[in-house]
Every structure is written in C-alpha cells, then in structure tokens.
Structure 1
Amino acid sequence: MVDFDERKARASAWFRTLRDQIVAAFEGLEDAASATPGRFEVSETRRGEDGGGGLMSVMRGGAVFEKVGVNVSTVHGMLGERAQKAMAARGVPGMSEDPRFWASGISLVAHMQNPHTPAVHMNTRMFWTPHAWWFGGGADLNPCIEYAEDTAHFHAALKTACDAHDAGYYDRFKAWADEYFFVPHRGRARGIGGIFYDDLNTGDWEADFAFTQSVGRAFLPAFVPVTERRLGAQASEADREVQLIHRGLYAEYNLVYDRGTKFGLETGHDANAVLMSLPPVAKWP
C-alpha cells in the first residue's frame, strides 16, 4: 500500500528547500547591487487553528527588488462547498462524500525596481485528496519592456527542464501558459509566457515529483541571468510609467483569474500571504 504520508512529507520538505535556495540567491543579488542590500522579512502564516500554515518571506524596497515574496505552505482540512464543486468540475471524484484535502507548495512573485528588469512568477505544488493526487505549477516572465534575448533565455531554461522528462512537455505546457496567462478583458497576455501545468498525474508519482523538482530547480538559472543583465540599465520617467501601468495589468489578472488566489481565499488561508503577489505600486491608464 502506498504511504502517502511519506510522500507528502517529501514534497513539503522539497518546497521548503527550494524556498531557502531562492531566498539566499535573491539576497545575494541584493548584496552585489548595494552596500545597503534589502533583506527578507519572514513571518509564519496559519490556516485556521488546525489547517496548517507556512512561511511568508517578503522583501520591500531593496536595490534590485521593489517587492518580492517567496511563500511556502502546507495546509489541510475540509474543502467547502464551492471548492468541492470546483474539484468535481475538474474531474475529481467523491468530494461531496469525503472533502478532505492536503496541499503544499511554493509561490513566488517578484516586482523589480528597474523597469528594464522583468517581473517574474513561479510556483510548484502538490495536491492530495482521498480520491486523487496531482502536481502543478510553472513560471512566467512579465517584462514591461521586452528584450528578445531575455525571452529566449528564460524559455530555453524551462525547455531544458521539460525535455529531461518528456519531449512533449515543453510545447504542451508552453501552450497552456499562453492560454492561462491571457487577460481576456484586455485582449492580451500579461507577459511573454513560460510554462504552466496542472492536474499532473501520469500514474507515476516519483516521475511527476521529479519533474516538479526540475521545474523548481530551473527557475534561478532562468531568471537570475536576465536580472543581472538589466541591473545597470538607465531608466527614464517614461519607462517607470510603462512599468506601473503593466503592473496594473498584472494585478487585474491575479485578482480576477488566478486559480491560486481564488483557492487560497476560498479555503481560509492567510489573506496577506495569498495577496502577496500584488505589486507595491501600480497605475491604470
């Protein structure tokens, strides 16, 4: 019989390890850019009294990062009626009879000081119910001023991670990202895409977990070189205006369409942690 408690523990530990690696790398970028580098403020989050929680790590006003959050959580409990219906619509059986769930993951959003340095999002997660399990996640780049070489580098790193597991994953998950990160009411994408996947259950938990780890490991090689390349770029007031308006688009997407935002708020997770993705300052035309 499969020991899912052991698998849950391994997945939760991995997300925490990835969080530690990313926080250290981002503080390293701050160290290289300023004599007074930004630092993460870390606080615990809770989902009710019995539903688990995690760590919210947020840096504000750094030399590189205007606002960046790297959150990890492991939560559990009973899904409410709306969440049960959403799961049933996705093909998860038996939720009305036994609505227990467990979920763990990492979620990251970075909004940058320099308009020439792209914002970025990454998350990976595992979800379990008594009736099903799956992995999901991805990463997408959100420049307000696009550079073709940055786009190519970011996608190449994600493709390498995908190709190591399945030759069809990159094309499949890139197309999914292009569809998922589209903002219908604006008629445009929120950035230049990346990869997105959900409900990943090939029947081989070890293989799907290994792929999810590879997506997480690919993030820093995909993003850090792009950031380092743009740190010294001169930015005008017009560039800043473009950045702030683009952030408005990002905020609209996360509040209206993002699955993670909806799930976090509907299941009672810490609202500050759920809304960590919102930019510190934004404008609308």
Structure 2
Amino acid sequence: MSTDMIDEKARAAAWFKSLRDSIVAAFEGLEDSHDTGPFSDQPAGRFDVSETKRTAEDGSDAGGGLMSVMRGGRVFEKVGVNISEVYGTLGERAQHAMAARKGIPGMKDDPRFWASGISLVAHMQNPHVPAVHMNTRMFWTPHAWWFGGGSDLNPCLEYDEDTAHFHHVQKRHLDPHGEDLYPRLKEWADDYFYIPHRKRARGVGGIFMDDRNSGDWEADFALTQDIGRAFLPAYLPLVEQRRTLAFGAAEKDAQLVHRGLYAEYNLVYDRGTKFGLETGHDANAVLMSLPPLAKWI
C-alpha cells in the first residue's frame, strides 16, 4: 500500500508545469518566426490562458489547472496545452472501471485519488504540417501509484522522413532507460491509437505507456520526464520544415477528413477523455483535443 507521497506529488506537478511553460514558449516562438509562406501575413498567435476547476459531487473544490489555447495563428490553427492537478474521491462508476481495468483492490473502501499531468494537442494551419498529441501524467490512490502517457504523430499527408525523425528522437530519449523500452512503448502506441471501426491507425504512431509502476518511483519519474523532454526536438523540426509549403483544396480536404478520424478516436476510445468527464473535470479542458474544423465523407 502506498503512502500519501506528498513530496512526490509536488515534484510531479511542478515538472508538468515546467514542461508546459517550455512548450508554450517554443510554440509562440514558431508563430513569431513564421514570416514567409501560407498564413505568414496573419498576426502571430498567442495562447489564451484560463484556470480550470474540478468540483466534487458535494460542491467542494477538488483541484483544477490551467488551460492554454491558441486559435487562428500563423502556424497553429488550434493548439491546447493543459495542465491539471485534481483530487478527491472517485465516483462509483470510476471506482468500478479503475478496479476492473487495473486490478486495484480496496477502491470501494477508500476511493481517494490524486492525479496531475500535461495534455497537448496541436491542429495545424498547413496540411503539410502534422498534427500531434502528447500527454504524461501521474496517478495516485491509497492503494497504488503509476505514470502514463506518451506522444504520437498524426499527419494527414505522410512523409516517411518525418515519421522516421519523430520515432528516432523518441528512441534516443528512451534508450538510457533500457534498450528494450522503445520497442515495447512503440508497440503499445500502435495498439492503443488504433481505431477498430475504421480498421486503421489514428496516425503514424509514437510511444505510449500506462500503469507504469516498476516499484522505483524515481526511475519511473525520470522516464516520464524524458518522454516529455523528447517532444520538442521530435516535433519542432517537422513544423519548421513543412510550414512554408504551398497547398491547395485537395490537401486541405484531406486534412479535414483526417481530423474527423481524430475526433472519432478521442470521443469513442480515449481513456483520458472518458476519465476526465466521469470525474467532473472542466469539460472544455477535457475536450480541448477536438479540432476546430473537421469533415466526414
């Protein structure tokens, strides 16, 4: 049985905030530096930041976070970078789901929980630039703790060299934690980000883990940090290379159709979406991942 882990929780929450700050700064830097090509004549985008709140069933405060969203920029059509730190007691539905999926005993007797993490989804102006998702999180109950998350690339127009770069950077950051880790987390992402009713993957993959508890909190936290550190070097070069490419109606149409696929996955299958809504977190923050425009055929 775990302790309250007060120090560990504080360190994890502080890390997610620092990662958020570095990503927000880097993305606004991309907006400022985009001075040629499509959308370069628009004002540089900036994040709108608002606090989010989670309210417990009895109406009491149960944590919250920051929702940072940029819309209609030069490079980003819509991008959200959210952090949260929420706590309280799990409702009966969430208790049953947690106990069934993770095999955690005692949830009914002591349903307290704490969770903190970062969640990012970027939908781009230029269809040549891939959409991307990243999240990492720590979850605690009196009975167990674990880490989860990863990042994956979601292009509507695929470039083999972009996929190779994204995966290479992930591997480079994971190899110090064990050379068997990247292949396992890549396979996990391939399985997790699969859309059964479409019989296809959501994108070109990445890395993903859940229920990460090796028994060594420091080691698992270090791994989680390196998953976060891999994101910017894996993604920024792809944006910089593709954002000035010309495109037409066919490319934009392909982007909108692919966004429909993305929305289907997030609304039907994504565990984070389901958990956020079931536990009463701010619905706008939970659904931040949805694209501004999408199309179905």
Name the structure 1 match of 2:28: 27
Q: Spell out, residue by residue over 1:195-253, the C-alpha distance to the aligned partner (whole angstroms, 9 max, x if none).
A: 01000000000000000000000000000001101011111100000000000000000
Matched, 1:55 2:66: yes
CA distance in 1, matches of 2:219, 2:52: 30
Matched, 1:151 2:158: no
Pairs within 5 Å for 1:47-86: 47-48=54-55, 49-86=60-97
Letter in 2 for 1:203: G
CA distance in 1, matches of 2:126, 2:210: 32
Q: Which one of the candidate residues 130, 133, 139 is aligned to 2:142? A: 130
Q: Which one of the candidate residues 174, 183, 188 is aligned to 1:171? A: 183
Matched, 1:18 2:30: no
Q: Would the alpha carbon gap of residues 227 and 43 (structure 1) be closer, same or farther in structure 2, given more than 3 Å must change?
A: same
CA distance in 1, matches of 2:4, 2:176: 27
Matched, 1:256 2:274: no
Name the structure 1 match of 2:38: none
Deviation at 1:46, TM superposition (A): 0.1
CA distance in 2, matches of 1:233, 1:118: 12
Q: Would the alpha carbon gap of residues 2 and 268 (structure 1) be closer, same or farther in structure 2, given more than 3 Å must change?
A: closer
Matched, 1:246 2:246: no
CA distance in 2, matches of 1:166, 1:81: 38
Letter in 2 for 1:116: H
Letter in 2 for 1:164: P
CA distance in 1, matches of 2:104, 2:77: 40
Q: Which one of the candidate residues 34, 40, 43 is aligned to 2:50? A: 43
Aligned 8 A contact 2:3 2:142 in 1: no
Letter in 2 for 1:188: R
Letter in 2 for 1:5: I
Matched, 1:8 2:9: yes
Deviation at 1:2, TM superposition (A): 5.8
Deviation at 1:167, TM superposition (A): 1.2
Deviation at 1:87, TM superposition (A): 1.0
CA distance in 1, matches of 2:104, 2:71: 39
User: Structure 1, unaligned stretches of length 5 or more?
Assistant: none
CA distance in 2, matches of 1:96, 1:198: 22
CA distance in 2, matches of 1:210, 1:253: 29
Partner of 2:237, secondary structure, is: helix
Matched, 1:140 2:152: yes
Partner of 1:260, secondary structure, is: helix
Aligned 8 A contact 2:120 2:133 in 1: yes
CA distance in 2, matches of 1:95, 1:33: 50
CA distance in 1, matches of 2:250, 2:240: 22
Letter in 2 for 1:186: R
Select between 103-112 and 41-50 the one with higher mean Cα deviation.
Answer: 41-50
Partner of 1:51, secondary structure, is: strand
Name the structure 2 match of 1:198: 210
TM-score if structure 1 supplies the norm length?
0.99
Q: Spell out, residue by residue over 1:131-179, the C-alpha distance to the aligned partner (whole angstroms, 9 max, x if none).
A: 0000000000000000000000000011111111111111111001000
Partner of 2:157, secondary structure, is: coil
Matched, 1:227 2:239: yes
Identity %: 72
Partner of 1:164, secondary structure, is: helix
Q: Spell out, residue by residue over 1:54-96, the C-alpha distance to the aligned partner (whole angstroms, 9 max, x if none).
A: 0000000000000000000000010011111111111112101
Partner of 1:46, secondary structure, is: strand
CA distance in 1, matches of 2:259, 2:104: 35
Name the structure 1 match of 2:125: 113
Partner of 1:167, secondary structure, is: coil
- Supply the RMSD in Å over aligned alpha carbons: 1.0
